[in-house]
Chain A
Amino acid sequence: MRNRSAFWPALALMAPLVLFLAFAYAVPFLGVALWSVTLPEPGLGQYERLVGDPLVQSAFLRTFRICLIVTVIAVACAYAVTYVWVRGTRMQRRLIEICIFVPFWISLLTRAFGWLALLSTRGIVNTSLQALGLTDGPLALVRNEPSVIAGMVHVLIPFAVLPLASAMRTVDERMLLAARGMGASRLRIFWSVFLPLTLPGVIGATLIVFVFSLGFFVTPAILGGGRSIMVAELVYLRMFQSPDWGLGAAISVALVILVAGLMGLLARFARLGLTGGGR
């Protein structure tokens, strides 16, 4: 250790936060885990319900389906904006920056409300469609799955941008030059050279977005209107509408295990990317 004199002071600097989180976060989480095997009665009954109860099962399946769709759309959209953000002119980069980072700082509630303002029965889209005479009555654009997907994609795009940008920044320009020199078309250069080179970023972004989307609660609750309930909303309902804390706790534990597995995958992948990158 090259800085021995600072050992005790440095430890004292780190201790407050570590102890605070141990008592305010780690220990209570163990308490929740305890709930999952003791409420309403001791045993693994709640975990049996996770796999057996059709309501819980359908919520999990719906969550996986929606999260998969959301992840694919969000990463694809993020790829397009990141491409221009990394490779565009100064003006284009500024513009993209505003589009990505201003919504990022705005509250989830405000953004969900924005979607309601756009899509509700008397919202901007329906009013415009009717004014143009394209539709007779209002379309049901909100309180359904597509609106939930739109809202979630909107929140998640910025999270996919950063891993994609760091992958795109490391692309060796000479590879693209070589491809062009050998007569490849623009599309061919992108498809056979640029995209494969940025694949590690795509996989990283996909995992991050998927993990984040699993725990989504506010956006689906507002835009879904209680119709297509996802896992996180199910936890909330089990806690506050039909007191069933044991099931809520069991779902929480299952979510943590799932996320830990995915993060482990991400970590392993990042390590492979570092050592196997050949740079």
Chain B
Amino acid sequence: MRIRRPGPVALVLALLVGAFLLLPLLAVVPISFTPGRMLTLPKGSLSLTHYRTLFENPDWLASILLSARIGLFTSVLSTVLATSFALGIWMLQPRFSSWLVGFVLLPMIVPPVVSAMTLYFLLTGMSRMSHAIGFDSVIGVTLAHVVMTVPFAVVMVLVALAQLDRRIDLAARGMGASVVQRIFHVILPNIAFGVATAALLVFVLSWEEIGVTLFITSIDAITLPRLMWMGLRDNVDPAIAAISVVLIVVTLLILLARMAFQRRPEFEEE
């Protein structure tokens, strides 16, 4: 029981901050319906010109498809690597596990611009072997996205494992289950929701990754955020408002879907 609910001052302050957080997202919506070529509020008439651009301009469509493809590859690779690693940590509980976990979380902690530089070094080196796997290639970008997203997947899966009752696994072991059986019939089914959340999060992170992508692509592997960046830096193109609205709606749908699948709310009161 809380002895006191928040008072009026706290509520007003929280409301102001909440409005501050939502404002830039809401601001995009009216701008996207402007008929003009400039970043203005629509005067009088609304128009879907900029939404049509998204489908008619081959650049936008190509970059959307490319980002979806990279996001999918990244999601699969990151989730598999992270789940495997987290299972190993959970089963073995090695004495040096905090060091190991710390090591794999590095790309999340190190400033993104440093990671960008590091991956630029890696991919330009790989380009010397073959252009298909290095700088400015789909495989190269996927590789970089796996590095950047895998820590988030590790955290998600470790959290899911922490909530798993060890006695279930012990019982399976006591009855003679092999390691493979324990993983696929006992542990994985119990953390399936956490693994799925990790895959979803990785997809979203890769889909919107820009800090590193900016360093490792130039003309061939133009992902959606990369294309948006070009449109934001030079002349702000209102088509970006349209794509932003689409992205916000897609994200909201994903969040709602996730909430629907979730068995119980994360933070229930007492």
Contacts and interface: CB of A to CB of B under 8 A. Distances in A.
Interface string A17-46: 110110011111101100100000000000
B141 interface: no
Contacts of B115: 25
Given A25-B106, A108-B210, A249 B117 contact: yes
Nearest to A74: B17
Given A157-B17, A217-B112, A3 B225 contact: no
Contacts of A148: none
Nearest to B87: A13
Contact of A28 (B5, B84, B103, B125): B125
A103 B252 CA distance: 10
Given A124-B30, A124-B41, A256-B110, A114 B17 contact: no
Do most interface residues of chain B lie in helix, strand or loop, or is the interface mixed?
helix
B244 A13 contact: no
Contacts of A211: 109
Interface string A204-233: 000000010011011001100000000110
Given A14-B100, A259-B111, A239 B215 contact: yes
Interface residues of B, number: 91
A17 B17 CA distance: 39
A60 interface: no
A92 to B, nearest CB: 7
Interface majority SS (helix, strand, loop, mixed), chain A: helix
B117 A32 contact: yes
Contacts of B30: 124
Interface string B103-145: 1101101111111111111100100000000000000000100
B150 interface: yes
A77 B17 CA distance: 6
B28 A113 contact: yes
Contacts of A239: 117, 120, 215
Nearest to A234: B113
Contacts of B39: 116-117, 120, 122-123
B195 interface: no
A101 to B, nearest CB: 8
Given A117-B27, A232-B113, A84 B14 contact: yes
A68 interface: no
Given A109-B232, A114-B27, A186 B7 contact: yes
29 contacts: A3-B92, A6-B179, A16-B85, A17-B81, A18-B85, A25-B115, A84-B6, A85-B14, A88-B5, A88-B14, A92-B11, A102-B255, A106-B247, A109-B232, A109-B244, A110-B247, A112-B232, A113-B232, A114-B244, A116-B236, A117-B39, A123-B39, A177-B3, A218-B210, A218-B211, A232-B111, A239-B215, A248-B117, A255-B111
Given A21-B104, A177-B3, 18 more contacts: A7-B92, A10-B87, A10-B94, A16-B84, A20-B146, A24-B147, A27-B122, A29-B118, A29-B121, A87-B4, A92-B6, A98-B22, A99-B17, A99-B21, A113-B240, A217-B113, A236-B113, A256-B110
